[in-house]
Amino acid sequence: MRLLRRRQRLPEPMPLGYPALSAEQVSVNLGTAKILDGVSLTAHTGELLALVGPNGAGKSTLLAALAGDVSSYGGVIRLTGEELSHWSDTEAAMRRAVLLQRITLTFPFTVREVVAMGRSPWLGTPREVDDDRVIAETMALTDTAQFADRVFRSLSGGEQARVALARVLAQEASVLLLDEPTAALDLRHQELVLALARDRARDGEAVVVVLHDLNLAAAYADRVAVLDRGRIAAVGAPDDVLEPELLARVYRHPVEVLPHPRTQAPIILARR
């Protein structure tokens, strides 16, 4: 008996402010440890949402759950209004792109081949004709075009991180999930990556980014969610959330919060 392959459902445009990705009372246990405990959070199109918190707060686990990379969890996660199980792997990849902290490749792929992997969800769709243009544009945006013919494994950690970001951007998904995208980067490229993420949000995508640097979160995020021991301690605009009492309690260290002399964005300093 011949099995018919189901035609993939292509994404529909979403208006600004649409709840593109949401967690509703999501809990995750690893063995006897509760990593997430009843987390509810929504990322909307047109915004950059930063997840911050100390080590072990649950930031990366929450991002993994939102990405569909956690096999067992309690609660409900919705992608563009439907539960994750509603979408095939390819359909999910058309709608959300995920940048992990580390990328491991065994074969000697060139940088351009790695970036081209981001186009795989669109194989056989009308958007396949855009592949070459999108690959070139994303490599230019991430300052990786000069590495196009080099083997990915020959790059430094920071260079590999930018190539991985180019692959994610080339996917052209309406939801971007970025796990510590600035961790291996120098000052210039940290600013470059967060500016790219903010620009994608301004263009109508929903961007969720895990950050350790509170000052980057304050400078670039539209909203900040502070996680503490698997729960949401606060969520809101940076000016409202990044305040000294809350941060001192969550990070268990006294901090000072000062206004930037030009932008008035919060500047967070550890008290010494």
Lowest-pLDDT choice from 98-107, 131-140, 234-243: 98-107
> What angle in degrees, to the nearest 10, is found between the helix axes of 187-202 and 157-170?
10
Structure tokens at 90: 């390819």
The predicted structure's pLDDT at residue 101: 78
- Global pTM reads 0.94
Q: What is the DSSP letter of 151?
A: B
Domains of the chain with CATH codes = 19-270 (3.40.50.300)
**Residue listed under structure tokens 């950050």:** 211
pLDDT at 236 over 90: yes
pLDDT band at 71; cut points 50, 70, 90: confident
The predicted structure's pLDDT at residue 107: 85
DSSP string, 160-207: HHHHHHHHHHHT--SEEEEESTTTT--HHHHHHHHHHHHHHHHTT-EE
Structure tokens at 124: 């056989």
Taking all residues of the chain, what is their mean pLDDT, rounded to a whole number? 94
**In this structure, are residues 142 and 196 in contact, taking their beta carbons and an 8 Å threshold?**
yes
- Distance between CA 23 and CA 7 in Å, rounded? 28
**In this structure, are residues 67 and 177 in contact, taking their beta carbons and an 8 Å threshold?**
yes
- Distance between CA 194 and CA 189 in Å, rounded? 8
Stated as kind and residue range, the H or E segment containing 37 is strand 33-44
Amino acid sitting at position 225 = A
Q: Tell me the average pLDDT across 52-65.
A: 96
CA–CA distance from 48 to each of 42, 195, 237 (Å)?
11, 11, 11
- Distance between CA 97 and CA 59 in Å, rounded? 17
How confident is the model over 161-220, as pLDDT tens digits?
999 999 999 999 999 999 999 998 999 999 999 999 999 999 999 999 999 999 999 999
pLDDT band at 133; cut points 50, 70, 90: very high
**Residue listed under structure tokens 């939102």:** 66
The predicted structure's pLDDT at residue 5: 56
The predicted structure's pLDDT at residue 6: 65
> What angle in degrees, to the nearest 10, is found between the helix axes of 131-141 and 157-170?
140
pLDDT band at 1; cut points 50, 70, 90: very low
How confident is the model over 10-41, as pLDDT tens digits?
999 999 999 999 999 999 998 889 999 999 99
